[in-house]
Amino acid sequence: MPRPEHHIIQFTIDGREVRAIEGSMLVDAAKHGDVEIPYFCYEPKLGNPVGACRMCLVEIEGIPKLQTSCSTPVKDGMVVNTQTERVRHAQNGVVEFLLVNHPLDCPVCDKGGECPLQDISFGWGLGRSRVIEPKRHFVKPLALSPLVAIDRERCILCYRCVRFSQEVSEDYQLVFADRGADTFVATHDGHPYVAPFSGNIVELCPVGALTSQPYRFRARPWEIEGAGSICTLCPSQCNVELTVRDEKVLRVLSREHDEVDDGWLCDKGRFAYQSIHADERVTAPLVREGGELREAGWERALEVAAGLAEHKGRAGALAGGQATNEEGFLLARLMREALACADIDSRAGGPMALGLTQALADPKLQAAVPDLEFAHTVLVLGCEPLDDAPILDLWIRKGVRRRGVKLAVATARPSALDASAKLVVRYPPGGEHAFLVALAAALAGDDQAAGDESNNGARALASLLTTGGEDVVIVWGERIGPAAAQMPAIAEHLRLAEREGAGLLEVPAGANGRGLREAGVLPGAGPGYAELGHDAPIGRDAAQIAAAAAAGELTALYLLETDPVRDRADRHLWNSALARASLVVAHASVLTDGIREHASVVFPAESYAEKEGTVVHPDGRVQRLRAAIGHPDQVRAGWSVLAELGRRAGHELEVPTSAAAFAQLVEAVPFYAGLTLDQLGGRGVRWPARELSSRSFPAPSATPAAEPGWVQAGAPRPEPSEAAGPKRPENGMLRLGTYRSIWAAPEVELSPALHFTIAHQQVELSPADARRLGIASGVAVEIAQNGRSLQGIAAIRTGVPDGTAFLAEGIAADSANVLTEQLVEVRKA
């Protein structure tokens, strides 16, 4: 879909000739003439204006009535007056009306000092009131959810919060009840407003009616500073402003990047800052002594870790999604250069042939986030944006709602986006490969190979993708694993590389998954997807590292901000791998199971609020993290620890600062060439959009794009003979599918405000299976397989295909990564 073209027109405001974009709302256009028009309800992020608050009335020549400038598109030659007696009279009136019932409790209001109503009353009010009637008084504040408190006395019914719930996040839980002056913001029957994006309403509220429970009364606006950075809790990498008081992060606000987050945050990003200051956080180096991790000095910890030098050629390393590009880059250098080890990985999807990796990262194929809004068709493939990169869920909804984007969802598990989709295709868990083969065949017009339509829907999807318009964006998850081999063919059929607004957008499993890959944290590629030299062997991928360590072939493991026991498939294998390794070096801020049980030494990891460095957004935007607060207690920067370990292993990495590490990275990655931290600034640089980068992107490697014998680490391993499709359920067993909830993160567990969201094992069953098994929603169930079992709570969900059970992984207890086979038995506990 072509993006709207902008025409510049000229209009007159308060006697000044001003140029503005035709059709932009007057209230925005006025800013070009340095004219500020006050408003409460206007917020373009929320969609079409509602014109409810009437604060922005202006006089337009030729129109008898005053007009709301928030809803009046500016036209060429328009003559607008905002300073006339009539306008002032109306503005005075609106302020006075608002204060008929708004309490003047500003001294005890959390919004005081950063309150639009205060500012507008001061700037546009009469300064006096004729109201002697008693104001309304309600009990306040009341809980609207565990995160948000509501003060209905202060509410001015501006529509912002309810519009957010209804038209942006589309959870439609927050509404107005009753009408007239009795209208109030409500939920259904006293249910709390709990939804993944609920915290945005606090930031939207122009008065102190909606306040953040964790932030209330923690600071006054004049005591705080705002520090811009990037949230690295998921791949969305939203731009945030951290509210800092006394070296403590007290709040997270959106730093509004209209090509990354559109000004929204999810509740994890907004409230999990509490984990930064949690008591449970590791803030000093720990060393295992007598079987227990004990606090030790840095020197002692570094000394233990320096023992890596004893394991040259026999060490493996994993980097977690929150590690920065610099950390990943230095880890790779440490492993390859100082320890002669090639076994390093950051991916969740298993090994990938270099040629395929390069093909999928080709700048021509990369869709940018805003393309989701302007595409003709968006396909969500093998991922759940709401869980995997929440902000993308909002982007997709925005496109569908406001631009008429046609949405197709092809996943194993029912998606939150199903209700917005034109077409929903379900394949069985583990059936990604077979489905994509069929889709590629259908796109090629090979009906024979496309298979049985009633069975897989590939042809319907192919026809939607080919007939709905050229600009197709495919949002696909790294979790589809080996099936990704089909993506280049699909992209080729749809000619995604040829169009500006079309492309692929991969949602990696880790927040900085893309950056780490580009920095060379891959078993088979150096920085910039460079082919490894002839003398450098191709290393093991994560699953192979586990197997090798468990078999004693690898004797040391380096875990950079990751705990494979929690994050990766096959918990038992990882437990034995870590147990068998004689040295386990970890950077961690939380002692999750694997670290607590097996680490020999734990370096306290920085939180994202403390880091300096860069990360790469899934769409290729290199973004910069800035330290908002100093390191608490004994925490040191990750890059400095890696540099020190290199030194102790006898290999000077020559990185005196984080910026030096970035400079080395830029040097090493051809398509970053010329990037500087200054250029990245506060908004980042999308490298695939740079002409220079596209030219310096490596030509596809000779390695064949698709290799047999692929394994997917995040899901059960298909037997080679079953590559065409997963097992059919038999003997009353159910196919096992897995999902990772947005809340399945250690940071959530460490944030008191988010305790109510902590993900537990919720077993999703189809209504028919539940009936057959005699299981009701909410009852405890046991899931068993090969003598292993775990506990969960049943959730009956229409849309789950019969014969399938979906289990949660990535959670602290009873995670599905205990299970390794395709079929499970579900029974009442």
Partner 1 sequence: MSLRRPRSASPAGSEGNRPTSPAIGPVPRFAHGSRVPGWDDAVDLTKPPAAVPDPATTPVPDRLRSAIIGAMVKYPDRRSAAIPALHAAQQEHGWCSPEAIEQVAAVMQVTPAYLTSVATFYDMFANAPKPRHDVFVCTNISCSLRGADDFYAAMAAAAEQDPNVTVRSFECLGACDLAPMASVDGEYVGPLETSDAERILEDLRAGGPVLADKQVRKLRCADPKAASGRGGERTTILFDDIDEPGLNTLAVYERRGGYQSLRKALAMAPEEALSSIMDSGLRGRGGAGFQMGKKASFLPKGDMDKYLVCNADESEPGTFKDRELMQKSPHMLLEGIVIATWATGIDRAFIYIRGEYSHQADILEAAIAQAATAGYIGEDILGSGHALKLVLHRGAGAYICGEETGLLDSLEGKRGNPRLKPPFPAIEGLYDGPTLINNVETLCTVPHIIRMGGGEYAKIGTESSTGTKLVSVSGDVRRPGNYEVVLGTSSREIIYGLAGGPPEGHEVKLWFPGGSSAPVLTGDDLDVAYDFDTLAKAGTMLGSGAIIVVDDSHSVLEVALKLAKFYAHESCGKCVPCREGTNWTVKMLGRIESGEATPMDLDIMASVQEQIIGNCLCVLGDAMAMPIGSMIEKFRGELEAEIEAARDRAGAGELQNVVPVLLDTLAS
50 is a contact residue toward partner 1 (CB under 8 A): yes
Give the integer Cα–Cα distance in Å for 268 and 743: 7
* Contact stretch for partner 1 (CB under 8 A) within 51-59, 216-224, 350-358, 449-457: 51-59
Smallest gap, in angstroms, from Cβ of residue 92 to partner 1? 8
| Footprint of partner 1 on 773-812 (CB under 8 A) | 777, 796-798
Could you tell me if 211 and 110 are in contact, meaning their C-beta atoms sit under 8 angstroms apart? Answer: yes
Piece in contact with partner 1 (CB under 8 A), picked from 140-148, 263-271, 466-474, 512-520: 140-148
Selected binder of partner 1 within 82, 118, 145, 623 (CB under 8 A):
145
Quick one: 50 or 497, whose CB is closer to partner 1?
A: 50
Strands (E), 428-566: 472-477, 503-507, 525-526, 530-531, 556-560
Residue in the structure block whose two tokens are 């083969």: 437
Helices and strands (H and E) in the chain: how many: 28, 36
Q: Which one among 3, 36, 131, 445 touches partner 1, defined by CB under 8 A? A: 131
- For the four alpha carbons of 766, 745, 716 and 457, in that order, the dihedral sign comes to positive
Work out the number of other CB atoms within 10 angstroms of the CB of residue 719: 10
For residue 600, the Cα-to-chain-centroid distance in whole angstroms is 32
Over the range 51-86, which residues count as b (16 or more CB within 10 Å of their CB) and which as e? bbbbbbbbbbeeeeebbbbbbbebeeebebbbeeee
660 binds partner 1 (CB under 8 A): no
Show the site string, 418-447: x = touches partner 1 by CB under 8 A, - = not.
-x----------------------------
- Region near partner 1 per CB under 8 A, out of 93-101, 352-360, 505-513, 545-553: 93-101
Residue 75 contacts partner 1 per CB under 8 A: no
Report the residue number, 79 or 143, with the smaller CB distance to partner 1. 143
Helix (H, G, I), strand (E, B) or coil at 570: coil
Does position 52 interact with partner 1 (CB under 8 A)? The reply is yes
Enter the tokens of residue 10: 């000229």
- What is the 8-class DSSP label of residue 700? P
Q: Is 51 in the site for partner 1 (CB under 8 A)?
A: yes
Please choose, from the candidates 111, 99, 95, the residue with its C-alpha nearest in 3D space to the C-alpha of residue 151. 111
Confirm or reject binding of residue 44 to partner 1 (CB under 8 A). Answer: no
Q: Is 74 in the site for partner 1 (CB under 8 A)?
A: no
DSSP string, 764-819: EE-HHHHHHHT--TT-EEEEEETTEEEEEEEEE-TTSPTTEEEEE-S-SSS-GGG-
Quick one: which of 47, 93, 113, 670 contacts partner 1 (CB under 8 A)? 93
Beta carbon of residue 89, minimum distance to partner 1 (angstroms, whole number): 7
Subset of 159-188 contacting partner 1 (CB under 8 A): 159, 166, 171-184, 186-188
Q: Considering only residues 24, 28, 31, 71, which one is a binding residue for partner 1 as defined by CB under 8 A?
A: 71
Residue closer to partner 1 (CB basis): 54 or 617 = 54
Shortest spacing between CB 291 and partner 1, in angstroms: 41
Q: Report which of 339, 824, 330 is spatially closest to residue 554, judged by C-alpha positions.
A: 339
Q: Which of 17, 107, 108, 139 binds partner 1 (CB under 8 A)?
A: 139
Shortest spacing between CB 274 and partner 1, in angstroms: 18
Please say whether the beta carbons of 808 and 783 come within 8 A. no
- Subset of 101-120 contacting partner 1 (CB under 8 A): 101
Angle between helices 85-101 and 116-124 (to 10 degrees): 140
Residue 741, Cβ neighbours under 10 Å: how many?
A: 20
Sequence-distant (6+) residues with CB within 8 A of 331 are: 317, 319, 323, 344, 521, 558, 560, 642
Interface segment toward partner 1; rule CB under 8 A; list 92-100, 251-259, 265-273, 628-636: 92-100
Q: State which of positions 20-39 bind partner 1 (CB under 8 A).
A: none
Q: What is the spatial distance between Cα 813 and Cα 593, in angstroms, rounded to a whole number?
A: 10
* Cβ nearer to partner 1, comparing 156 with 637: 156
User: Smallest gap, in angstroms, from Cβ of residue 301 to partner 1?
Assistant: 42
Q: Which residue number, 49 or 481, has a Cβ lying nearer to partner 1?
A: 49
One of 201, 770, 816, 824 touching partner 1 (CB under 8 A): 770
188-217 residues near partner 1, rule: CB under 8 A: 188-195
